[in-house]
Structure 1
C-alpha cells in the first residue's frame, strides 16, 4: 500500500502554483495556517489580488499604527476612507511612507472633499503610482500657505479616475502636466476644461469612461478622435439619440475607433448607431447595451463581429430583434439584466442558432418563466454556467429538465420564490458549483436532498436564506464531507 502524501511533504516552491487556483477568500484562509503560508499568500503575484482598505471613519488609527506599520507585507493597492474635517494626515503619510516603493494603486475616498495641499502631500509619497482614484471634490487652499509648490509629475501613472471635475477648474493643478502618460481616463465631461483634458489625451488613451450630466459638451466631445481606444464606457442622455444631427455625429464618433474591443453603452442607442459600431469596430469582444430603442432585426448587425464573446442587454426588447443575424460561434456569454421581452421563448429559439456555443447565461430581473427555462434546458446543450436572480415567473417545475444540460457545472439561484421542495423535484444533475442567495422559502430539510441530486458537487455557497440555519448547513456537511460548503448571513 502506497503511503499518502501530505501537503507539507511537497517542495516549498510548489505551493505558489497550488495557491494560484484559490479564490481570494481561500487565499486569506490559507494565510492563517502558518508563517510560511502567510508569506506566500501575501507576496509576489498574490499580493496583487488584494486592496488594503483603511477606513479612518471608524477610528481605527491606533490599530493601523499598531499592526500596519509593523507589517512586512508589501501592499500594492491601498484605499483610504476618512472624514474630511478630521483627516489624520500624518497617519496617512506614515502609512504611505511605509509602502511608498510598492504602492501602485491609491484610492482616496474622503466623506466630503480633499484639500489641494493634502492631495499634493499624499501624491508626493507615491512615486511609483500606476492607478489613482480621487473619489471626492478637490478644494483649493484658501489660506495660500503653500502657493507656488508644484504637484509631482507622475510619469508612471496609467489610470486616472476623477469622480468630480472640480479639480480641473483649479489653476494650481493641471492633469495634462501632472499625468502625462495615462492610457486610461474616467471622469465626467461637463466643463470646457474637462473637454480640453479629453482632447489633450485623446490620441494616447486605450481605455475611456465618460459621463455627460449636461448636454452642452456632448456633441463637441463626439467630434474628438480616439483612434487607439480599446475600451469605452459611454453614458449619455437618451434624448440625444432623438436628434438626427446627434445620431450622425455619434455614428461618426464610433467609425473612428477601429481598435475598440469592449463597449459599454449606458444609453438607448438606435439601430443606425449600432450599425456604425459593428461595421467600424471589427475587433469587438464585449458589448453591453440597452435595447429600448432597437426595433426588429436590429441585432442582425452583430453577425459581422467574428470575435464577439460577451453580450449584455438591458431594457425592453422584441423577440425578433435577432432575426436575420448570422451565427456567431464565438459568442459564449449572454447577460439579460432587467430585461422584458415580448416573447421570451421566441427570443431563445433564435438565440439557440445564433450562439451555438453559448456557455454562460445570466438572467437577473428577467421575465423568464417555466416553459422558457425548460426550452433552454432541452435546446442549449452547451451551457456550463446558469445564473437566475429576481425571476418571479419561475416555479419549482422550471427545473425539471435540468439534467438535460449535461455540461452545466455552475448554477446560481438568487431571490427566487421557489418552495421548500425545490430539490425533490430537480433531477440528478452534473452541477459542481452551486450558489443559493435569498431563497427564503428553503428550509434545512431541503438541503438534505442535495447530496442525492447533486452527486458531482464540489463547492456550495449559501447566503441570506433566512429559513436555513447553521445547524442545517452542519448536517449537510456531514452528508457531503468532500464538498466545500460556505455559508453567510445565516442564523
Structure 2
C-alpha cells in the first residue's frame, strides 16, 4: 500500500494539528480510510502512526488456497493485522519474514497447520501482541517438542486449546494479560495451568472451564489477581463460588452453567465486593423462578446480563423485585426470560441510571406497564427490543415520551399492531439512529411520518420490512438530515435510484426475489416462530400464574 508517486501533501501539513486529522480519520468508513492512505505522504504517515486507525486495516489471505513455498509474498504492506481463514499453511518460508515483523495481531479461522510451521510463522512475527487460534483451526504434530518466545504477546485466544502450542509458549510470553480458552481437553489441562502459573503476575483476564484440578491450581497462585473472568462449570455450581472466593479482585464476571440460583448469585456478590459487570447464562434450566434479591449484595453493579438457555429455549422466570430498591445499573440485558409484569417494571422505572436496555426473546406479560417504565428512564440512551413476545396488545397504545434515547433497535417478527408501532416510535422524538428488522407493520406510510417527526435522525437501517420503492422516492425528495441509509433484503424495494446523490452513505442489499422456494421457506420459518412463541408463552403464562397465586 506504499506509492512512491504520492504527493508530498495535498494540504499544508502544519495547517491542521495531527490530533485533529486523526480525529477526522477515525470517523471514516474503512473503505475511505484505505483511500486516504493513498492521498499524500502526510496523510499516509499520520494514519500509519496511529495504532487505532491501522488496527482497522486487516490483511486477508485468499480462502481455499494452500500457502506454501511458492507463495509470491506480500509487499509494501502497512496493515498491522493478518487473517488466515479456511486454508492450509504448508510453509511460510521464505515469504512470511518480509512483513511478519510489522504484524501485531494474527487471526486463524478454519486453518490447518503443522505445529512446526506455526511456530516458524510466530517466531518471525516478533512484535505480535494478539493471537487468535479460532474456530475449527487444526494444529497437527502436537507431539513436536519446540519452544517459542513472544515478548510482546498480551492476548492469547483459543477456541480449542492446542496443547503443543500452549506447551511451547508456557515460558515464552512474559507480558500475557488475557488468556481465553473456550474448549480444552483433560490431557491439555496441565499445560494450560502451567502457562497460567507462569504468567500469573501479569494475567488479568481469564476464560476457562472450571474443574477440581483448575481450582486446586488457582488456589496455589498467590500472584494471580484477576479483574475479569469468564468461567463455566458443568454440574457443580460450587466450583464457581469457590473460584470467586479465590479471586476477590474481580470486577467483571461471566458465569455459564447449571443450578445457578438467586442465593448462589447473592453469595457471589458478597465475595466480590467490587463487582461492576455480571453476565449469567443459565444452562439446562426448567420453568423455575430466579430471585432477584441478589442485587442487594452488589451495590456497585453497573451492568447486568441475564440469559436463559439459548439451546433449549426454555424461559427463566424473574421473581418480583422489590420496587423500593434503587439500582446503580447503567446497562441491563435480558434474553430468553419471562419477566414479571408488575414489580419488575416498577424496579426498572426506579433505575434512573440505566443508559442501555436490551430485551431479546423475552415474554413481556404487560406491555402498558413496560412502556410506562420506559418513559421514566431519564438516562436511557439505547433501547433494543428483539423478537419479544407480548401476550395481548391492548386496544389503546401506551403513551409516553423519552427525550434522552438516541438509538432504537426493533424487531417484531410476531407482528406488533401498527398503532402500537407508531406510538412506540413517536415516543422517542430525539432519535439519531434507528434500526428496524423483520417488522411487517413497518411500511411506507410509517416512513413518511418518521421524516417529519425525527429531525435529528442521522442513521436509518431497514431490513426485511414491508416498504416499497415509494420509500426510496420519498427519501429522494425528503432526505432530511440522514447521513447513512441501509436498505437490506426488503423484498418490495427494487433499487435505490438516485438516492446516493442525496445521502452521504447508502447501503442497498436486494432481496432474492427469483427463488420462490426461499420466499416460501422464509414465510414457513416466520409461521413456525409464531406457533413456537404462542405455545411457549401460553404455557409459560399459565405456569407462572398458577405459582404466583399459590
Distance 1:348 1:78 in 2: 52
Among 350, 354, 357, the alignment partner of 1:308 is 354
SS at match of 2:410: strand
Give the CA deviation at 1:273. Answer: 4.1
What corresponds to 1:287 in structure 2? 332
Report what 1:103 is aligned to.
128
SS in 1 for 2:28: coil
| Residue 411 (1) aligns with residue 430 (2) | no
Change in 2 beyond 3 A, CA 1:133/1:233 = same
Gaps of 5+ in 2: 1-7, 76-95, 303-329, 515-550
Give the Cα separation in 2 of the matches to 1:310 and 1:119.
49
Partner residue in 1 for 2:108: 80
The 2-side partners of 1:33 and 1:296 are apart by 58
Alignment of 1:229-240 (within 5 A): 229-237=250-258, 240=259
Question: For the residues of structure 2 that align with 1:73 and 1:347, how far apart are their CA atoms?
Answer: 65
In 2: Cα distance, 1:347 partner to 1:236 partner: 42
From 416, 429, 432, the equivalent of 1:384 is: 432
For structure 1, list consecutive stretches of 5 or more residues without a partner in the other structure: 1-5, 142-146, 469-491
CA gap 1:263/1:60 in 2 versus in 1, 3 angstroms: same
**Are 1:166 and 2:185 an aligned pair?**
yes
Residue number in structure 2 paired with 1:476:
none
Whole-Å Cα distance in 2 between the matches of residues 278 and 64 of structure 1?
A: 62
* Structure-1 separation of matches of 2:490 and 2:353: 37
* Contact map agreement 1:138 1:166 (CA 8 A) in 2: no
Aligned mate of 2:405, from 349, 352, 358:
358
Query: In structure 1, what is the Cα distance between the partners aligned to 2:395 and 2:151?
Result: 56
Question: In the TM superposition, what whole-angstrom CA distance separates every residue of 1:147-166 from its partner, at most 9, and x where no partner exists?
Answer: 9x882163321111102122
Map residues 241-390 of structure 1 onto 2, 5 A cutoff.
246-267=261-282, 273-277=291-295, 280-284=298-302, 285-290=330-335, 292-297=337-342, 298-303=344-349, 305-315=351-361, 316-318=363-365, 319=367, 320-321=369-370, 327-342=376-391, 349=398, 352=400, 355-367=402-414, 368-390=416-438
The 2-side partners of 1:430 and 1:96 are apart by: 48
Aligned CA distance change for structure 1 residues 156 and 424 (closer, same or farther; 3 Å): same
Cα distance between partner residues in 2 of 1:44 and 1:169: 38
Change (3 A) 1:325 1:167: same
Secondary structure at the residue paired with 2:357?
A: strand
Secondary structure in 1 aligned to 2:131? strand
SS at match of 2:347: helix
CA distance in 2, matches of 1:358, 1:287: 15
- 1:193 maps to 213
Taking a change above 3 Å as real, the CA distance of residues 10 and 217 of structure 1, as seen in their structure-2 partners, is farther
Deviations 1:373-419 (A, max 9, x none): 32134321121111111223433333232021222111111122423
- The superposition leaves residues 78-116 of structure 1 with CA deviations (integer Å, 9 ceiling, x where unpaired) of 1134644x42733x444433331x221111235345665
Whether the aligned pair in 1 keeps the contact of 2:170 and 2:195 (CA below 8 Å) is no
In structure 2, what is the equivalent of residue 471 of structure 1? none
Equivalent positions of 1:11-160 (< 5 A) are 11=13, 14=18, 15-33=21-39, 37-45=43-51, 46-50=53-57, 52=59, 58-61=65-68, 62-63=70-71, 65-67=73-75, 68-71=96-99, 74-81=102-109, 83-84=111-112, 86-87=113-114, 89-90=116-117, 92-100=118-126, 102-109=127-134, 111-113=137-139, 116=142, 121=147, 124-139=148-163, 151-152=170-171, 154-160=173-179
Secondary structure of 1:232's counterpart equals strand
Cα offset, 1:9, TM superposition: 1.8
Cα offset, 1:220, TM superposition:
3.0
How far apart are residue 50 of structure 1 and its match?
Answer: 4.2
Q: Is this contact kept in 2: 1:135–1:164, CA < 8 A?
A: yes
Q: Which residue of 1 aligns with 2:523?
A: none
Mapped pair 1:182 → 2:229? no
Which structure: greater helix fraction?
1
Residues 1:432 and 1:44: Cα distance change in structure 2 (over 3 Å) = closer
- Cα distance in 2, alignment partners of residues 157 and 389 from structure 1: 41
Q: Quick check: 1:210 aligned with 2:228? A: no
Contact map agreement 1:419 1:441 (CA 8 A) in 2: yes
The change in CA–CA distance for 1:29 and 1:89 in structure 2 (over 3 A counts) is farther
